[in-house]
Amino acid sequence: MDKLLKQFEDKKPEIVFEWSDSDSEAEGWVVINSLRNGAAGGGTRMRKGLDRREVESLAKTMEIKFTVSGPPIGGAKSGINFDPDDPRKDDVLKRWFEAVMPLLKNYYGTGGDLNVDEIHAVIPITESYGLWHPQEGIVNGYFHATEPQKIKKIGQLRQGVSKVLEDPHYTPDGPKKYTVSDMITGFGVAEAVKHYYSLWGGQLKDKRAIIQGWGNVASSAACFLAVEGVKIVGIIDQSGGIINTDGLSLDEVRKLFLNRKGNKLVADELIPFKAMDQIVWDLAHEIFIPAAASRLVTQQQLDRLIEGGLEVISSGANVPFADKEIFFGPIALSADQRIGLIPDFIANCGMARAFAYLMEDHSEVTDQAIFEDVSQTILKALKKTSDVHASKTGIAAKSFEIALRQLI
């Protein structure tokens, strides 16, 4: 695996598009690791302090992710270095998408990501510039679709990604309506945990979990885990956190989900971040969901989590460990050698898989069909690993090896 990984990491990206905004300090990059089979895909994120290296590492992660989710295309990513809380955010995004429109028309497909919403930003802005859908470049570059085929595939994408969820199995009750794109990635992260215990042994019900982050991925993963009987004992995000050593009830988790503001946890008894950061890593638990930003989990935090009884990590964030290496640094390796580590390209492939499924000729655009397809895709990937690797440790390394052999 090490030799394959180094070879993949060292390969230069085929295309790097660099942008400097004319009306603000924003800067951005599209990194296309390869145009495998004529196209590449990966979401658009925004955060202050983002750099080209982060975008490049995420593009390479996407290429590996497509070995699981399909279609068999190259990996890409868009990243904008800008404060997402700045009131100029919408105008920056408009100028960004106008600049990258030729790529999106021909061979690059994108979507939402950190601080960039699929439904409320990516789709309406790109539509205003004449794009049928943010995945149109993949439909053109990979499928080489005829006009009728293109209309059908784009129609399924438009209907499916923005579909308001009606099945109570996939959305919490409340005044706000949620879409497939709101819930699908967190659902996959939770399903990865469920499939881990079914394949490698153990009872999911009554396990305890710590959640890092409270955006779409983290909060929806927490809801789906709570439905399975998992006890959420700790939640930490940038605004603070909550601890309940007995486990939050399903109703309490759903209330926190419904009351969040953007990516921020909102609660009456919120523990300040500094205080929460001192204690959350020592809670007794078995499941950890890192689903905030990339490269946050330190070696010290990992050691404390394992001391607290950690059994499995399901990576909701891309590259969750604070390693300088693109994929598999010493912290990730330490986790993989000591506990079950479900890598990001499997655990959080839900949105990528939903896109791939909706581009298929005979996809069924229903809540159950889309979500069940994601669950089965993750199960298939993990089973492929478990079939040749019975140990509960080393799962991520073996999964990387299986994926990389398809690319190199």
Which pLDDT value is given to residue 256?
96
Residues 42 and 68 grouped into a single domain: yes
* pLDDT level of residue 327 (50, 70, 90 thresholds): confident
Residues 293 and 220 grouped into a single domain: yes
Residues 24 and 117 grouped into a single domain: yes
Instruction: Give me the residue label for tokens 């859908």.
Output: 133
Which pLDDT value is given to residue 314?
98
Tally of structural domains, the chain = 2
4 located within any domain = no
Of 108 and 176, more confident:
108
Which pLDDT value is given to residue 201?
96
Residues 242 and 103 grouped into a single domain: no
Residues 187 and 91 grouped into a single domain: no
Which pLDDT value is given to residue 22?
94
| CA 182/CA 112 separation, integer angstroms | 10
The answer to whether 215 and 376 have CB atoms below 8 angstroms apart is no
342 located within any domain = yes
Instruction: Give me the residue label for tokens 């109703």.
Output: 251
Residues 66 and 199 grouped into a single domain: no
Which pLDDT value is given to residue 5?
84
Confidence check: pLDDT of 6 > 90: no
Residues 151 and 185 grouped into a single domain: no
* Backbone torsions φ then ψ of 317, nearest 5 degrees: -95, 150
Domain-ending residue, one of 133, 162, 191: 162
CATH number of the domain that residue 110 is part of: 3.40.50.10860
Among residues 179, 182, 176, which one has the least CA distance to residue 167?
A: 179
Q: Across-strand partners of 352?
A: none
Enter the DSSP assignment of 298. -
171 located within any domain = no
Residues 92 and 201 grouped into a single domain: no
Give the residue numbers spanning the domain of 104: 9-162
The arithmetic mean of pLDDT across residues 212-239, rounded, is 96
Domain-ending residue, one of 130, 162, 194: 162
pLDDT digits (tens, 9 = 90+) for 186-216: 999 999 999 999 999 999 999 999 999 999 9
Q: What sign does the dihedral 336-338-342-344 (CA atoms) show?
A: negative
Residues 128 and 204 grouped into a single domain: no
Which pLDDT value is given to residue 153?
96
The arithmetic mean of pLDDT across residues 259-269, rounded, is 90
Which pLDDT value is given to residue 48?
96
* Cα 98 to chain centroid, rounded: 25
Amino acid at 21: D
Among residues 119, 194, 152, which one has the least CA distance to residue 375?
A: 194
Which pLDDT value is given to residue 299?
98
Which pLDDT value is given to residue 175?
80
pLDDT digits (tens, 9 = 90+) for 341-365: 999 999 999 999 999 999 998 899 9
* Cα 122 to chain centroid, rounded: 16
The answer to whether 74 and 34 have CB atoms below 8 angstroms apart is yes
- The percent of residues in the chain predicted with pLDDT above 70, rounded, is 100
Confidence check: pLDDT of 126 > 90: yes
Residues 158 and 266 grouped into a single domain: no
Residues 148 and 79 grouped into a single domain: yes
Average pLDDT, the chain: 95
34 located within any domain = yes
Which pLDDT value is given to residue 213?
97
The answer to whether 348 and 317 have CB atoms below 8 angstroms apart is yes
Which pLDDT value is given to residue 20?
98
Confidence check: pLDDT of 294 > 90: no
Which pLDDT value is given to residue 9?
86
213 located within any domain = yes
Amino acid at 240: G
Q: How many CB atoms lie within 10 A of CB 164?
A: 11
The arithmetic mean of pLDDT across residues 95-108, rounded, is 98
* Backbone torsions φ then ψ of 288, nearest 5 degrees: -125, 130
The answer to whether 317 and 344 have CB atoms below 8 angstroms apart is yes
185 located within any domain = yes
* pLDDT level of residue 85 (50, 70, 90 thresholds): very high
The answer to whether 59 and 34 have CB atoms below 8 angstroms apart is no
User: Contacts from 11-16 at CB under 8 Å and sequence distance 24+?
Assistant: 13/56, 13/59, 14/74, 16/52, 16/56
Confidence check: pLDDT of 43 > 90: yes
Task: Output the pTM of the full model.
Answer: 0.92
| CA 253/CA 141 separation, integer angstroms | 42
Look at the chain and count its residues: 408
Q: What sign does the dihedral 84-88-94-98 (CA atoms) show?
A: negative
CATH number of the domain that residue 353 is part of: 3.40.50.720
Which pLDDT value is given to residue 259?
93
C-alpha torsion 57→60→64→69, nearest 10: 90
74 located within any domain = yes
The arithmetic mean of pLDDT across residues 177-182, rounded, is 93
Domain-ending residue, one of 106, 128, 162: 162
Residues 390 and 283 grouped into a single domain: yes
197 located within any domain = yes
